[in-house]
Structure 1
Amino acid sequence: MLSVHCFSANEDFGYDLLELDREVNYTLCSNPRSTQYLCTMQWVNKTADVTLRAFEAYRDDRCYRTNLCFYAALRDGIYFTGNYPPSGLTLYSRWP
């Protein structure tokens, strides 16, 4: 199982526990200059986790065309695409 916690300075989506092949979706509202959402992902029973900047308004023109940022937690790391259904995944971060 994967523990996911996403939040911003003004909003906290709480913690989600995801089983294999499950997903969680968040709808974000952004200020074009300052919005930033962080997500922490950790496999249950593992000590290491990954914190990623899931969305930063000034950086994420990669999500602009589709208004979608999609992250996939796979065995070797976290992958990103701006498409759903997901295609063209690129490695965002390896697990520590």
Structure 2
Amino acid sequence: MIKHSLLPVIASSLLLKATVSEPNCFLAKYAVYVVNNLLPNSPPLQVHCLSKDDDLGYHNLTQNAEYRFAFCEKPLVTMFSCSFQWNGNARGFHVYDAHWRNNRCVHNGVCYYAVKSDGFYFANDYPPKNLKFLCDWNPNSKC
């Protein structure tokens, strides 16, 4: 009897875990990748991403390490920002914004950001085929 009553609890826990780690979306699903492409033997890249509803925490990325998160878009609502710190440099910008007129992440639902010593590069595929320069470390420049 106890075995049968635990089955729905276990099944719902597994379903919740699957939904949180890989969302099943009614509309659009997106994935954001941040990759440390900084110089060998340099300090780690610290990344902190969040939205209005979710703080995804701090992540220290060593060279070539990747941080990834996925989400379901709520049209005209969803926005994620990330702040980056490395070797005395600090920079933050929106990595996804549902208000972007020409959403740079639309193709395949991928937002790929490579962080290098001269700035930030973007591709909308994974693995990236053609990284394009997005902006530098200057907090006053537009990304």
TM-score strictly above 0.5: yes
Aligned length: 94
How far apart, in 2, do the equivalents of 1:52 and 1:91 lie?
Answer: 14
Q: In the TM superposition, what whole-angstrom CA distance separates every residue of 1:26-65 from its partner, at most 9, and x where no partner exists?
A: 112221112110000111x41x311011000121532112
Cα displacement (A) at 1:95: 1.2
- Partner residue in 2 for 1:9: 52
Task: Out of 61-70 and 71-80, give the one that drifted further.
Answer: 61-70
Q: In the TM superposition, what whole-angstrom CA distance separates every residue of 1:51-93 from its partner, at most 9, and x where no partner exists?
A: 0110001215321120110000011001111011012111111
How far apart, in 2, do the equivalents of 1:77 and 1:87 lie?
Answer: 18
- Indicate the SS of the match to 1:49: strand
- Partner residue in 2 for 1:32: 75
How far apart, in 1, do the equivalents of 2:104 and 2:134 lie?
Answer: 13
- State the Cα RMSD in Å: 1.2
Q: After the TM superposition, which segments of 4 or more aligned residues of structure 1 sit over 2 Å from their partners?
A: none
Q: Kindly provide the amino acid, as one letter, of the partner of residue 71 in structure 1.
A: Y
Select 1:71's aligned residue among 96, 103, 113: 113
- Indicate the SS of the match to 2:71: coil
Matches within 5 A, 1:13-24: 13-24=56-67
- Answer with 1 or 2: which has the greater Rg: 2
- Partner residue in 2 for 1:49: 90
Task: Out of 51-60 and 73-82, give the one that drifted further.
Answer: 51-60
How far apart, in 1, do the equivalents of 2:93 and 2:115 lie?
Answer: 12
Bigger share in helix: 2
Are 2:107 and 2:125, in contact at CA under 8 Å, matched by a contact in 1?
Answer: no
Are 2:121 and 2:134, in contact at CA under 8 Å, matched by a contact in 1?
Answer: yes
5+ residue gaps in structure 1? none
